[in-house]
Amino acid sequence: MLNCAIVGATGYTGAELVKILLRHPHVRISGLTTRQKEKIPIEQWIPVLPREIDLEARPYSFSEIRRSSDVVFLCLPHTEAMGTASKFLEAGKIVIDLSADFRLRDWKEYEKWYGVKHSGRQILKESVYGLPELYREKIRKGSLIANPGCYPTGAILGIAPLLGRGYIETDSIVIDSKSGVTGAGKKLNPATQFCEIDENFYAYKVGRHQHTPEIEQVLSDAAGAEIRVTFVPHLLPLERGILTTAYLRRKKNVKRDAAAEAFRSAYAEEPFVRLKPEGIFPALKDVQRTNYCDIGFWADPDSDRIIVITAIDNLIKGAAGQAVQNLNVRAGFAEDEGLKIW
Ligand SMILES: NC(=O)c1ccc[n+]([C@@H]2O[C@H](COP(=O)([O-])OP(=O)(O)OC[C@H]3O[C@@H](n4cnc5c(N)ncnc54)[C@H](OP(=O)(O)O)[C@@H]3O)[C@@H](O)[C@H]2O)c1
């Protein structure tokens, strides 16, 4: 049994992680923490769980988690995770960080987009980007796994196979994403209150969303060249799920059916990427509460356009599910252990 702790367990991703780890046959939950001064019984923040599950979030204590745990999941807000990660890494733990703090390789980029000093610069080079479909071999050896952002997960999985094979133009990638409100976390925020979001739909952080450099970093890896994208996120009046549409242009010498072949060969063996037949597109209900990323595409026979649509659950494939997938890769468990959820 692997002893796993969750720091910042009482938020949205923490709750999903608890539920997934409770199903995992090779994991014991060895600690759940909160910033609050009093213990919080599990039924107060995950009331759906059966009463016999006897867990509680305890006030955070580094020494307690260090003593009890082999793996530490950090479900803290970005900027809060970097200091905590450094200490657990130094103590020899495997750290899987769900925040953005270790996703960008260049601390200057981090400081530019997140507006704070990066206090973990010295360990940034140890971090591995936790998208198993692209970086599985690195994850197997990583001790600091930077779990991807929710928007980047859907966008990258939809575009990387085409870029990797040089099938699309690199100067005109447009990514349009729509997310449910849990993507913003549990903290109070006027923009995500019921009366603001109910019956509403709007774009936000246009041209300046902090997931832009993360998408560009990974797509640049896939292309072997520097990639810039236009990324526009939107908020949907829904609890969960992200639907992403990527507008791409096929290169002149590339045949129309090359797109299908690129997706098939990239994802044929992937346990959590499901490809739709060409011209059939995923919906959020197909993936909510699962670790799947569903992908549909259309290569227009009358033009150079390729449209790719992906759907994920932001809290599962976009966060807690992917974190457990990373744990499974790192620990050598079957990749779908704990993740047979639908
Ligand atoms: N929501 C998503 O869809 C999603 C997807 C991918 C990645 N992420 C990332 O995952 C991390 C967690 O996201 P979340 O949605 O679970 O957030 P959340 O619902 O706001 O929960 C974060 C938890 O961390 C604790 N916390 C809050 N502020 C803190 C602080 N200043 N210092 C220490 N602890 C603090 C809180 O618990 P206590 O008050 O009990 O301490 C809170 O419940 C974030 O970095 C987020 O960007 C989220």
Q: Measure the CA angle with vertex 271, ends 250 and 241; round to 5°.
A: 70
Q: Relative to the CA of 60, which ligand 1 atom is closest?
A: 41
Ligand 1 atom 46: residue of nearest CA: 99
Which pLDDT score, from 0 to 100, does residue 176 have?
Answer: 98
Report CA(6)–ligand 1 centroid distance (Å).
Answer: 11
d(CA 83, CA 292): 31
Whether the pTM exceeds 0.95: the reply is: yes
Q: Which residue type sits at 122? A: Q
Q: Which domains does the chain have, with CATH numbers?
A: 2-148+318-331 (3.40.50.720), 151-315 (3.30.360.10)
Instruction: Give the closest residue to 92 by CA, choosing from 144, 127, 155.
Output: 144
Q: Relative to the CA of 40, which ligand 1 atom is closest?
A: 40
Choosing from 4, 75, 150, 293, which is the catalytic residue? 150
Report CA(275)–ligand 1 centroid distance (Å).
Answer: 31
Check pocket membership of 186 for ligand 1, CB cut-off 6 A. Answer: yes
d(CA 155, CA 230): 11
Do the strands 27-34 and 242-249 form a parallel or antiparallel pair, or are they unpaired?
A: unpaired
Q: Relative to the CA of 149, which ligand 1 atom is closest?
A: 6
Give the Cβ contact number of residue 125 at 10 Å.
10
Check pocket membership of 240 for ligand 1, CB cut-off 6 A. Answer: no
Check pocket membership of 99 for ligand 1, CB cut-off 6 A. Answer: yes
Annotated active-site residue 150? The verdict is: yes
Compute mean pLDDT per 10 residues along the chain, 342 residues long, and list them.
Answer: 97 98 98 97 96 96 97 96 95 98 97 95 95 98 98 98 97 97 92 93 95 98 97 97 98 94 97 97 98 97 96 98 98 97 85
Query: Do residues 241 and 311 make contact, with C-beta atoms less than 8 angstroms apart?
Result: yes
Check pocket membership of 153 for ligand 1, CB cut-off 6 A. Answer: no
